[in-house]
Chains A and B, each alone.
Chain A
């Protein structure tokens, strides 16, 4: 694939982005409440658009966001729509949503965001370190 891996470091209000092209493993982890979510995520969305256009392997998406603001949530709905389009064209994908065990809100946020989308997904509990 003619695309480089993408790495964005974790900051106080933005998550770490770790998109590994070689293993087709895309990870987003950390709280997400930037002042302007589209400004932060625009490079991520552009990268994903190119990646989905080129990728012919199984993609695993791992998302671990303990808190996200409404603008970030909107961006994630856009990302999942892109994933659904990819899956609709025959692409193989698995989305794993990590939620803190005993945190119902985090669990239901994942359920709300993923429930009607037509691609394989998993809800994965984790214990807060």
Chain B
């Protein structure tokens, strides 16, 4: 490995040594009483400089290594968890707490069957590309990536950074919609590359209290979540039709003003004694749509939604005249 010379931060010290060496070599220097002390001083100073130089450079190497390790760590865990791990304020110990989270599960419908004829190298490439693309979206929306389970992805919002229940739920549904759109785009690329079977995702989202923290032993910990909300998100994903996103009633309550959802469905899910109300997430409302006026009167028998940005007062008068006709 080649060693290149860098600009020298010890230049002044080196110049002093050169000067002292020059004096020590002068002809009359040997005659002076202090020459022994001076030579010893010079030797010690040279040694000290060499040690300082070596220490500085090895310390720089160690810091460089630390930064590389931090960078690599960030590829295994979410940015929030990386920050938590690297913060010395947090104790690394088996400790959990209760917190309201929005939990997300997704998988690729029949992934094993679809990919059963593929070579393992091609399968790895396809799966890694899919997970890579989805992970970019998870980070974009601030999700904590809990784990990949084959082609399945588990994400939660609300820990280690807590903002508000509504914000976490909204971030999660936006992430899910982004993922679904991106998968459709990827689909086209994969088809043209020769993957004939399209991949279809299923996604489930639920909000509720979970136990979150470090589980395991003092030697091997896993930062994850457990609780019925986790099971509900997983079961909703399982109950989904292809390319659909099912959200729980509690999630719907937090996002309904900003999303377009189907009518509620009562689903019988494994592990739940009571039917669970869920909604298909159809899309997010854009800024204009959020200003829609909803005029409704059951007694008089009308229900009208109006977008004032697209529908003027004159348009409304004309409409009423048409209805009278």
| A and B: interacting chains | yes
Chain A residues within CB distance 8 Å of chain B: 67-70, 73-74, 77-78, 81, 104-105, 107-109, 111-113, 115-117
Nearest residue (CB) in A for B49 is A116
A-B contact pairs, 6 of them (CB 8 A): A74-B55, A81-B51, A108-B57, A112-B54, A112-B61, A117-B50
Give the contacting residue for A109; candidates B3, B47, B51, B58; CB below 8 A: B58
Chain B residues, CB < 8 A from A70: 55, 58-59, 62
Chain A residues, CB < 8 A from B3: 108, 111, 115
Interface SS majority for chain B: helix
- Give the A-B pair count, Cβ closer than 8 A: 46
* Contact (Cβ within 8 A) A116 B61: no
Chain B residues within CB distance 8 Å of chain A: 1, 3, 47, 50-51, 53-55, 57-59, 61-62, 64-65
The CA of A109 and the CA of B55, in the complex, are separated in Å by: 9
Using A70-B59, A113-B58 as known contacts, say yes or no to A105 and B51 having CB atoms under 8 A apart.
Answer: no
Using A105-B64, A105-B65, A107-B1 as known contacts, say yes or no to A112 and B58 having CB atoms under 8 A apart.
Answer: yes
Interface SS majority for chain A: helix
* Contact (Cβ within 8 A) A113 B61: no
* Contact (Cβ within 8 A) A73 B50: no
Give the contacting residue for A74; candidates B1, B51, B57, B65; CB below 8 A: B51
Chain A residues, CB < 8 A from B53: 112
* Contact (Cβ within 8 A) A73 B58: yes
